[in-house]
Amino acid sequence: MSFVQLVESVGEEELFNPTPEHLALREMVREFSAKELEPQAKECDEAETFNQQLFQRLGQELTLFGVTVPEQDGGLGMDPVASTIIIEEMSAVDPGFALSYLAHEVLFVNNFYISANAEQREKYLAKTMDGTWIAGMGMTEPGIGTDVLGMTTLAEDCGDHFLLNGAKQFITNATLGSVFLIYAKIHKEARAISSFVVTSDLPGFSVGKKEEKMGMRSSPTAQLVFEGIKLPKENLLGQVNAGMTHMMRNLEIERVTLAAQSLGIARRCLEVAAHYAIQERHQFGKPLSSFGQIQRMIAEGFAEYQAARTLVYTVARQISPLTRKSLGAASAKLVATRMAEKIGREMIQVLGGYGYTRDYPIERLYRDAILLSIGGGTNEAMQKNIIKDISMGL
């Protein structure tokens, strides 16, 4: 029995793969990750390069863009569990590549489809679902983190168009993106925001310096700058000042899928460390796994991973565009991201000096895991949100 089979022997199959279609999807993505992602993951991390050709194959060959888009509009017509499955499986091999997928698929395609009208879907959806266009989302700003309503990007209403000025910081896929979902205020002093489609070919659009990052190095991150961009009125998504609704609705699936990245990272770290301690490394004539300290780290890590996985998939089954589960999404992200960081660090300890080198993937996976307690709302923000939801429910 393989390590992955051991993992899947714990818990109810229906929770993690609710239908035969979910199971087939998992098997397909797992095979793709092993055959296609694995060989290039280390090289792309070290060179800080994004495999655009492989990324576009996700849309052109595997039809993995538009997972939550209804079949009549060209998507798979599946649910957030399907998105969770895809991102968990990719992240067990190349979390950076999976992050770019998440930004394109969850932050843009899913969010755009729910918020757009028929004409906007007709204009933009096909090119993002077949991989012709790479997409992303812009919410975070320089100097503005979790204080979303403090954003300063302004889309001034000029009658026949909007005039967009401002900047967005730490934007995944910024250097390669053709289209972005951008949040901005209509009025400088407003306490409401709106959402817009912004393409990179518009005059006044530019990309800042590519960030040099600790982890997720195969996923490009940069600043987006808007200088006097004339946005047609039809680029507004939904109603004026409805952006917060769009944002909060999509934050739930974003947080669950970021938690799914943590699951993939943790599973791979445990798999590598368990194989090393049980089959590869002997100390004082015994397998490394015979020592109590090593047993504790691997055993507790396995149990904590299984607990987090159960929570993440439970919440994934509950969320939808019409159902708010902010308490569950925040809890899943908080628990899973902490778990992955802890397991990554302790599995490095299991391997000792080898864990600290790049001979094994745990070093890279641990660096990647650290982002997940920051992106999509910091873990401190998750704690604040959880307390707020509990207080409102009492």
Identify whether the C-beta of residue 132 lies closer than 8 Å to the C-beta of residue 166.
Answer: no
> Does position 318 have pLDDT exceeding 90, yes or no?
yes
Alpha-carbon dihedral sign for residues 205, 254, 97, 345? positive
- Is 380 a known active-site residue? no
> Does position 248 have pLDDT exceeding 90, yes or no?
no
> Does position 148 have pLDDT exceeding 90, yes or no?
no
Cross-strand partners of 57: none
Catalytic residue among 254, 271, 304, 363: 254
Confidence grade of residue 239 (pLDDT, cut at 50, 70, 90) = very high
pLDDT in tens, 96-122: 999 999 999 999 999 999 999 999 999
The alpha carbon of 276 is separated from its chain's Cα centroid by a whole number of angstroms, namely 29
Bridge-based pairing of strands 135-138 and 179-184 is: parallel
Domains detected in the chain: 3-134 (1.10.540.10), 136-240 (2.40.110.10), 244-393 (1.20.140.10)
72-86 exposure pattern, b = at least 16 Cβ within 10 A, e = fewer: eebbbebbbbbbbbb
pLDDT in tens, 4-19: 888 888 878 889 999 9
**Average pLDDT, stretch 356-379?**
96
**Average pLDDT, stretch 179-191?**
91
Residue 284: the pLDDT is 92
Closest CA to 32 of 97, 115, 119, 114: 97
Residue 247: the pLDDT is 87
Element containing residue 183 per DSSP (H, E): strand 179-184
Residue 91: the pLDDT is 98
**Average pLDDT, stretch 329-335?**
97
How does the average pLDDT of the chain come out, rounded?
95
**Average pLDDT, stretch 40-53?**
97
Residue 382: the pLDDT is 95
**Average pLDDT, stretch 126-143?**
94
Rounded to whole angstroms, the Cα distance separating 67 from 149 reads 30
Residue 292: the pLDDT is 95
* Vertex 10: Cα angle to 289 and 5 (nearest 5): 70
